Chain A
Amino acid sequence: MTVNQMSSVADRRPGSTANAGRAGSADRTEPSMTTRRHRAFYMFTAPWIIGFALLTIAPMAYALWLSFTTYDGISPNWHYVGLGNYRELLNDSQTWDSLGRAGLFAVISVPLSIIAGLGLAVLINRPVKARGLFRTLLYLPAVVPPVGAGIAFKNLFDQNAGAANGVLTFFGFDAIGWLADPYARYVLIMTVLWAAGNVMIISLAGLQDVPRELHEAARIDGASAWRSFRSITVPLLSPVLLFQTVTGVIASVQTIMPMLLAPLATTGGLTTIPQSNYTYMIHVFSEYFALGRYGYASALLWVLFVLILIATGLIFKFTSGVVFYNVDPEAKK
């Protein structure tokens, strides 16, 4: 390094005499650290915020506008109907029936998948041989694309050629029309349980966060494995379980799996979805793309959005007393 270069480096050091001589002009031209932090924050978050505005806020606002019209995408004479679509859906039995089915599906599938996922997580959290292999195998269904899962389940539960009925008839039982009413809803629930690996992975992460010494202390005090699980594991996992409940409810009322289980996973295939699987999102899809009622379907989606907000709020309200947040008290200071 030459003497001139060393001098140049020294000039850039904070507090150097060379720097101090030009302090006045630097104040006017260079932003302060706080400003730079603000700018960095906004620049880093800008892509997300712009994306959120473009791909979430703008479509939602557009859908809100559509929900006040009779727009069908192509006809020339659509018009503004105010709250007409919302009034209509209040009296639309198909809307409430499909919402009821979606709610029932959530009430059954969310607890079952959480229990199954937690059970699997507890099993593979134990020091067993080939634990990694089991974890991979159990998680594998969760990475299968839903379309592939739909095709697999359709073939598995086909009345005339499916493996499920193959087993039944082998043991002398009559075949069952799994993909038709009233059995179709059970197949739908099975698709959720089949992909419980997602829940399992999150629960497993939670389980590995539970301090081992608490379990050891409980064991020394004579607590049984069940008591230890109930009084230590579950409370410490409660934030994870709350997260799974909230996201599970949201995902289950929005499921389009019934469509993927239909013989044709297209607009035309909607018509072969059994009534027991005709859930709210299927109704919305049908109104949008089969009936071309963009306005009415947008109203349905806005109602669902508000209902999900309410449901999430209620879940938080009713679980506030039983969810244990393991927050470091020092962190609050």
Chain B
Amino acid sequence: MRSQAGAPVSRRRFLALSAAGAAAGAASLGGCALPVSTGVSSSGETVTMMVKAEDLSPDLVKQAKKETGITIRRVDYDITKLIAMLTSGNPPDLVRAVGATDAAYFAARDVMEELDPYFAKSSVLKLDDLDPVNDLWRYDGRTQGKGPRYGMAKDFSQDSMYWYNTAALDKKGIDYPSETEPVTFEEWLENAQHLVQRSKGQTTVSGGSYNGLTKLTLMATMTASAGGSLFSDDFSRVDFTAPEARKALAWYIEYCKLKVGPSPLQPDPNGWDGPTYQAGRLAMSNTGYWMGGMIGADKKLAQVSRLAPAPVFAGGPRISACQGGTGMWMPRKAKNKDAAWRIFEWFFGEAPAKARASSGWGIPTLKSLRPLMPAQEDYQKRTLKAQQNELEHFSVVSLTPYITGDAFESLYNQVTPAAMTGGISVDTLAGRLNSIINEQLGRGKEQVG
């Protein structure tokens, strides 16, 4: 009999050992993939926040430690990583999300913590101080905007509004749109056509951009502006053939056909309007109040920029919704909820919230912080006046929990280019959109149960 030390490693034994090693490795990799500590550290509690770098600077992390005694560990926002963390039962304590498109989606999948008990006890975030935009983070199991609160917006804008450059309008002899009374979508498009400047096949100045924050929010809010709803009562279907939705769709296809601004046919290489508008190559930009942060930093640009109300459809209601409402939520399985709530209060109601309110990069989501909005310079006063007037027309446009903004956008942009190039009619497009989007909605509904 051979001793153990002298035994050759047979292939079978080797493979068995390898498999055992692989299994052990897999188990340890599971831990490595999610290196999130939500426990209590020796110097105080630690809260893990999954946010983007611009949401939470290293200085803010230090400030949080100083003011709350809690250590923040930042994890870069990544939806795939988030899903892996949620699935493994080891989620971050606070997660960034877009209220308009994400809140109902995650709430319906039962991964969000209801925050009503926390709000009820809070002396920082009082319910009567919350701006109505925070209703985007409510969901009652059927409708967004009602029911328990699952998160809060850090700031917001009414994203159907638009900025215009007075120098570009002066050059073409176009009257400035009113800062309090809306133009119609048709008038907006007509102005954009007059403002666009082309030379040898190149667009030197785009007349205007009108793409919404996402195609889902754009179509839903425009349909609401036409007096209808993009979704059925139970949010399980869309109907682009309904007159109001068709009207919204037809307008957007016409906008793309005319090539007056960025669209899926000719996307802005910068990815958003800011740099193009700042360079004087975009006369009108469908971006809300929040772009005022960028505009205010460029005095020359600020002098020629005006914020105008959200356009309306002739005869339709005046609706000016928030298409974003980016903020944070707390996963139901977060390990450190009390500390997370303390950071939540600090981030949304204390020093960081005050700094955001005075920066001009969005409207504060606590009514009590509104006096901090920038209003020292003339252009700031003018912008603020236009914005305050528009707030009277704010409303929450409910979206479906059965599809993500990315999914809607992906499907929408798969079929719309054919209509934008004149290959198919708007009616044919409406039918195709109904078909592919309802299929995805059906899958979503089945999975939510």
Contacts and interface: CB of A to CB of B under 8 A. Distances in A.
Given A49-B18, A159-B203, A75 B448 contact: yes
A290 B440 CA distance: 11
B141 to A, nearest CB: 14
A174 B200 contact: yes
Contacts of A271: 215, 264, 409-410, 412-414
A289 B404 CA distance: 10
Nearest to A181: B417
Given A75-B448, A289-B406, A160 B264 contact: no
In this complex, the member of A46, A70, A269, A290 whose beta carbon has the largest number of chain B beta carbons within 10 angstroms is A290
B22 interface: yes
Interface string B184-207: 000000000000000111111000
A332 B413 CA distance: 60
A268 B406 contact: yes
Interface stretch (B2-10, B222-230, B364-372, B383-391): B2-10
Nearest to B405: A268
Interface in B5-19: 5-9, 14, 18-19
Nearest to A263: B267
A70 B449 CA distance: 13
Interface stretch (B78-86, B290-298, B334-342, B345-353): B78-86
A291 B268 CA distance: 24
Given A29-B3, A31-B6, A50 B18 contact: yes
A267 interface: yes
A30 B201 CA distance: 82
A138 interface: no
B109 interface: yes
Contact of B448 (A32, A34, A39, A77): A77
Given A54-B26, A74-B86, A28 B3 contact: yes
A5 B352 CA distance: 76
In this complex, the member of B9, B26, B110, B281 whose beta carbon has the largest number of chain A beta carbons within 10 angstroms is B9
Contact of A70 (B201, B268, B443): B443
A19 interface: no
Interface string A257-275: 0000011100111111011
Given A42-B14, A292-B404, A158 B109 contact: no
B79 A272 contact: no
B26 A155 contact: no
Contact of A77 (B79, B201, B446): B446
Nearest to B410: A290
Contacts of A132: none
A173 to B, nearest CB: 8
A286 interface: yes
B183 to A, nearest CB: 26
A229 to B, nearest CB: 43
A35 interface: yes
Contact of B410 (A53, A78, A177, A291): A291
Interface string B106-120: 100111000000000
A135 interface: no
B266 A177 contact: yes
A293 B83 CA distance: 13
In this complex, the member of A29, A159, A274, A292 whose beta carbon has the largest number of chain B beta carbons within 10 angstroms is A292
Contacts of B202: 159-160, 165, 169, 175
B265 interface: yes
A176 interface: yes
Interface in A161-194: 161, 165, 169, 173-177, 179-181
A38 interface: yes
A70 B447 contact: yes
A314 interface: no
Nearest to B202: A175
A154 interface: yes
Interface in B126-142: none
A25 B87 CA distance: 57
Nearest to A265: B271
Contacts of B53: none
Given A29-B5, A76-B447, A275-B417, A159 B407 contact: no
A72 interface: yes
In this complex, the member of B22, B80, B86, B268 whose beta carbon has the largest number of chain A beta carbons within 10 angstroms is B22
A28 B6 contact: yes
B6 A30 contact: yes
B407 A292 contact: yes
Nearest to A287: B410
A31 B9 CA distance: 11
A74 B26 CA distance: 21
A67 B87 CA distance: 18
A271 to B, nearest CB: 4
B201 A74 contact: no
Nearest to A285: B410
Given A174-B201, A291-B440, A50 B21 contact: yes
A292 B448 CA distance: 13
B269 interface: yes
Contacts of B203: 159-160
A281 to B, nearest CB: 15
Contacts of B31: none
Contacts of A290: 404, 406-407, 409-410
B25 interface: yes
Nearest to A264: B271
A58 interface: yes
Which 8 A/B pairs are nearest by Cβ-Cβ distance? A75-B447, A174-B201, A175-B201, A271-B413, A290-B410, A263-B267, A53-B22, A73-B83
17 contacts: A35-B6, A38-B9, A46-B21, A54-B26, A54-B29, A72-B447, A74-B83, A76-B110, A77-B449, A94-B414, A160-B202, A160-B281, A181-B417, A263-B270, A271-B409, A272-B264, A291-B411
